[in-house]
Amino acid sequence: MDLKSGYPFWAVKNGLLTAFPQLIRDHECEVVIIGGGITGALIANELSRHGHHVVVVERREVGWGSSAASTALLQYEIDTHMVDLAEQYGEANAVMAYHACADAILTLEGLAAELGNVAFERHQSLYYASNEEDVAALKAELVLRQQHGFDVTWLERHEVLSTYGFEAPGAILSELGASIDPYRMAYQLFEKVVARGGEVYDRTQVERIEPSAQGVEIILTNGASLRCQQVVIAAGYESQNWLPESVAANRSSYAFVTDPLPYEALGILRHTLVWESARPYLYMRSTQDGRLLVGGDDDEEDIPERRDARVIEKAQGLAAKIETLWPALDINPTFCWAGTFAETSDGLPYFGPHASLGPRVHFALAYGGNGITYSVVGAKLLRALIEGNDHPLAELYSFQRLKRQQ
């Protein structure tokens, strides 16, 4: 699957950071991770730092799938409101899901400090009502979050205008948000995995997976065999190729990054993630070198050729929306791209085994707008499953949830 179009900023900015070898021989290990993006990197790091012998295989270069196209807004705020999740799965589960994402941001902050040079920055997160009709829903969301200890406040129209310089009927301001360079972090995490005795191979494609009672055999397209005890499929949106049923809808999201803007032009936007209540939503953040990174205008297109043809037009449309909100900003889309992502019906991920492949093959489907924070949660959840331990989110994030949706 061709997962992106155009010139993703992270790959252009960083280049190919490390060359990993191909796997061209028969091999054995404890856990195989299929997928060399940020999700695979976080899972490999979690397992290897707890003593598991991990082998990662990626069919492209590491980080060159959807991770290179990520805009990497780190939020605990799930695309589905806590209020709506509470109605569907109970308030305790909804709160637990939100708190897990909040904890994940703090975990990422610790990892970033350990790794260094991954452009981690803390931000506030401004979630604004796109129209008057959305105000009541956002206020109900605010109340539930406040009841469960989240540091959020309500801003009236005049406060949004005076502080952030644009018109909106109201907004939730959250204190916990962040941003990161996901491409660089993936590479550095994989280097840590290798330093601990793990192995990372790129340009290594899986042909088929053959689980048995004794273990799992993975046959590569080059004919080599890789035997292991457990497998984690963290191949992003291509992971669904190993499932007998669709669990998410593939969509395309579009993004661009500007040239560096004057410090005074960005003002408080340098320290704020901004997104809206409309669906699909406009979202934006700054980069460490003062660029504005803007995304949104998602559509249902997942045919690469059609997605490719829309990149420039979509970027121009997003730029026009930003200039409508902030007329003083001169927005020039310097690098424009699009990426395929998957969206579940409830906004939650799936982690763990599926009945079709048995208990030794786990999926890591960190789908939706919280992909990176979900991956942190999923890494700990999958380690618990592999080690035979319980995890409080194992049931909610399992494929058993599909039955409750039917």
User: In this predicted model, what pLDDT tens digit does every residue of 53-87 receive, in sequence order?
Assistant: 999 999 988 877 777 778 889 999 999 999 999 99
Question: Is the predicted pLDDT of residue 8 greater than 80, yes or no?
Answer: no
What average pLDDT does this structure show over 224-248? 94
- Give the CATH number for residue 393: 3.50.50.60
Give the model's pLDDT for residue 331. 92
Is residue 83, in this structure, part of any structural domain at all?
no
Residue 112 CB neighbour total at 10 angstroms: 19
Q: Residues 259, 213: one domain?
A: no
Question: Is the predicted pLDDT of residue 235 greater than 50, yes or no?
Answer: yes
Radius of gyration of the chain (CA): 21
Q: Residues 334, 290: one domain?
A: yes
Which helix (H) or strand (E) is 186 found in, with range?
helix 182-195
Is residue 130, in this structure, part of any structural domain at all?
yes
Closest CA to 39 of 342, 392, 358: 342
Question: Is the predicted pLDDT of residue 4 greater than 70, yes or no?
Answer: no
Q: Are 168 and 128 in contact (CB under 8 A)?
A: yes
Q: What is the pLDDT confidence band of residue 252, given thresholds at 50, 70 and 90? A: confident
Q: Residues 240, 261: one domain?
A: no
Which helix (H) or strand (E) is 110 found in, with range?
helix 91-115
Give the model's pLDDT for residue 2. 43
Output the six-digit token pair for 381: 């959840």
Share of the chain above pLDDT 70, in %: 96
Give the model's pLDDT for residue 5. 47
Beta strands 31-34 and 27-28, pairing class: unpaired
Q: Residues 378, 311: one domain?
A: no
What average pLDDT does this structure show over 277-302? 90
The model's pLDDT over 179-227, given as tens digits with 9 standing for 90+, comes to: 999 999 999 999 999 999 999 999 999 999 999 999 999 999 999 999 9
CA distance 10 to 389: 37
Q: Residues 280, 369: one domain?
A: no
Q: Residues 371, 397: one domain?
A: yes
Local structure of 27: helix, strand or coil: strand
Give the model's pLDDT for residue 3. 41
Is residue 393, in this structure, part of any structural domain at all?
yes
- Please compute, for residue 50, the number of CA atoms within 13 A of its CA located in the half-sphere on the CB side: 15
Q: Residues 169, 275: one domain?
A: yes
Give the model's pLDDT for residue 44. 98
**Domain boundary at 308, 326, 343, which?**
343
Is residue 112, in this structure, part of any structural domain at all?
no
Four-residue CA torsion sign, 139, 142, 146, 152: negative
Q: What is the pLDDT confidence band of residue 342, given thresholds at 50, 70 and 90? A: confident
Share of the chain above pLDDT 90, in %: 77
Angle of helix 91-115 relative to helix 182-195, nearest 10 degrees, comes to 70
Q: Residues 163, 255: one domain?
A: yes
Is residue 90, in this structure, part of any structural domain at all?
no
Is residue 109, in this structure, part of any structural domain at all?
no
Question: Is the predicted pLDDT of residue 312 greater than 70, yes or no?
Answer: yes
Q: Are 292 and 261 in contact (CB under 8 A)?
A: yes
Give the model's pLDDT for residue 6. 52
Q: What domain range is 302 assigned to? A: 123-177+250-343
Q: Per mean pLDDT, which range of 178-187, 286-295, 337-346 is the poorest? A: 337-346
| Residue 332 or 352, more confident | 352
Give the model's pLDDT for residue 7. 57
CA distance 338 to 10: 13
Number of structural domains (the chain) is: 2
Q: Residues 255, 171: one domain?
A: yes
Is residue 285, in this structure, part of any structural domain at all?
yes
- Give the CATH number for residue 264: 3.30.9.10
Is residue 108, in this structure, part of any structural domain at all?
no
Q: Residues 263, 157: one domain?
A: yes
Which helix (H) or strand (E) is 162 found in, with range?
helix 157-164
**What pTM does this model have?**
0.94
Q: What is the mean pLDDT of the chain?
A: 93
Beta strands 73-75 and 121-128, pairing class: unpaired
Give the model's pLDDT for residue 196. 98
CA distance 366 to 240: 12
Q: Residues 24, 162: one domain?
A: no
- The burial class, CB within 10 Å (0-12 / 13-18 / 19+), for 17 is middle
**Domain boundary at 343, 367, 395, which?**
343
Q: Residues 211, 161: one domain?
A: no
What average pLDDT does this structure show over 124-146? 98
CA distance 151 to 176: 8
CA distance 337 to 358: 37
The model's pLDDT over 346-399, given as tens digits with 9 standing for 90+, comes to: 999 999 999 999 999 999 999 988 999 999 999 999 999 999 999 999 999 999
